[in-house]
Amino acid sequence: MSLPTSLHGRLRLPAIAAPLFIISNPALTIAQCRAGIVGAFPALNARPAERLSEWLSEIAEALAAHDAAHPDRPSAPFAVNQIVHRSNARLDADLRVCVDHKVPIVITSLGAVEEVNQAVHSYGGIVLHDVINDRFAHKAIEKGADGLIAVAAGAGGHAGTLSPFALVSEIRRWFDGPLFLSGAIATGAGILAAEAMGADGAYIGSAFIATEEANAAAAYKDAVVAGHATDIVYSNLFTGVHGNYLRASIEASGLDPDNLPESDPSKMDFGGEKAAKAWKDIWGAGQGIGAVDSIVPAGTLVDRLASEYARAREKLLSPTAKP
């Protein structure tokens, strides 16, 4: 097991902030990287498409300035998420922009494509691929991904159904490269648990919805703060792929969260106006929101995670009292 070389000495915590559709923006990504974890955003969040190059320049310049001012604690690298699905008409153009800007990490979702991996490798970037089971993990590595993000049960957005214990264990039977775990991780102890389970780090999304920098409506942030695991509904109705959503947002749209129809997977739409509207009105979130109790700056959230991580580690390493 090992972290990618580009992350060595650059992380305060072994964690990646998940790219949140609509929500993640340059301000949030920069704050995450400055705080010492990998910050990320979906390429599709830059609208119109021409803004992607502007966002990448803004992020690179801000992090370079931070590093110059704080050589003793450089920022973590950032990542861009690419939806590798045939309905994403922007993929080719967005990928070219990422290559031009030499984006350090590209996170691919909903499809493993060898040509995408080769494009990122052409300038020395690395690719991490989202997977929900061992079969998809094999395919991703066979097609050239450098590492994996195991999206287990309880994760926000497009999540799998497997226990993190099972998913990580199966992948680690054959893969010793970079592996991050996603699924209801919203505490520092959860990050440590992911490492103990065999992952190299955690992939954290929902907790960052309730941050000041996040591009989420106030009611959305409040719902995350007030919510619990039982407020999360798993459905494929909204995009054609199963995902986790906040019950309150489904009810507000006039739907019954307990009786949602099944969607036709062939109608999947990623990147179009229909998809954007679904995520704007139906709020994605994972089962870890019960650990979120206030809206804070992203740096403050990372501070909390770091303190919790240190306490959990100290507790586990302290001698066990004998009877």
Q: Is residue 323 part of a domain?
A: no
CA distance 301 to 123: 33
Q: Which of 117-126, 219-228, 257-266 bottoms out in mean pLDDT, i.e. has the lowest?
A: 257-266
pTM of the model: 0.93
Q: Is residue 275 part of a domain?
A: no
Task: Check which CATH number belongs to the domain holding 173 and give it.
Answer: 3.20.20.70
The 10s digit of each residue's pLDDT in 153-170 is 999 988 999 999 999 999
The answer on pLDDT for 266 being more than 70 is: no
Q: Is residue 269 part of a domain?
A: no
Closest CA to 172 of 193, 156, 195: 195
Q: Is residue 279 part of a domain?
A: no
CA distance 209 to 24: 8
Q: Are 154 and 172 in contact (CB under 8 A)?
A: no
The 10s digit of each residue's pLDDT in 1-25 is 577 777 888 899 999 999 999 999 9
Q: Is residue 271 part of a domain?
A: no
CA distance 34 to 76: 7
The pLDDT score that the predictor gives to residue 1 is 55
Cα angle 165, 168, 172; round to 5: 130
The answer on pLDDT for 130 being more than 70 is: yes
First to last CA, the chain: 36
What is the residue-averaged pLDDT of the chain? 93
The answer on pLDDT for 181 being more than 70 is: yes
Q: Is residue 270 part of a domain?
A: no
Return the structure tokens found at 42: 């979906």
Residue with tokens 């226990």: 163
- Rounded to an integer, the average pLDDT of 283-291 is 96
CA distance readout (Å), 113 to 144, 151, 221: 8, 19, 35
Q: Which domain holds residue 130?
A: 5-217+286-317
CA distance readout (Å), 251 to 231, 246, 321: 11, 9, 50
- 3 state DSSP class of 312: helix
Q: Is residue 277 part of a domain?
A: no
Return the structure tokens found at 123: 């300038």
The total domain count for the chain is 1
The 10s digit of each residue's pLDDT in 113-125 is 999 999 999 999 9
CA distance readout (Å), 4 to 8, 9, 91, 181: 7, 11, 25, 15
Q: Is residue 313 part of a domain?
A: yes
The 10s digit of each residue's pLDDT in 56-107 is 999 999 999 999 999 999 999 999 999 998 889 999 999 999 999 999 999 9
Q: Which of the four pLDDT bands, split at 50, 70 and 90, describes residue 235?
A: very high
Contacts 24+ apart (CB under 8 A), 98-103: 98/43, 98/56, 98/125, 99/123, 100/53, 101/53, 101/56, 101/57, 101/60, 103/56, 103/78, 103/79
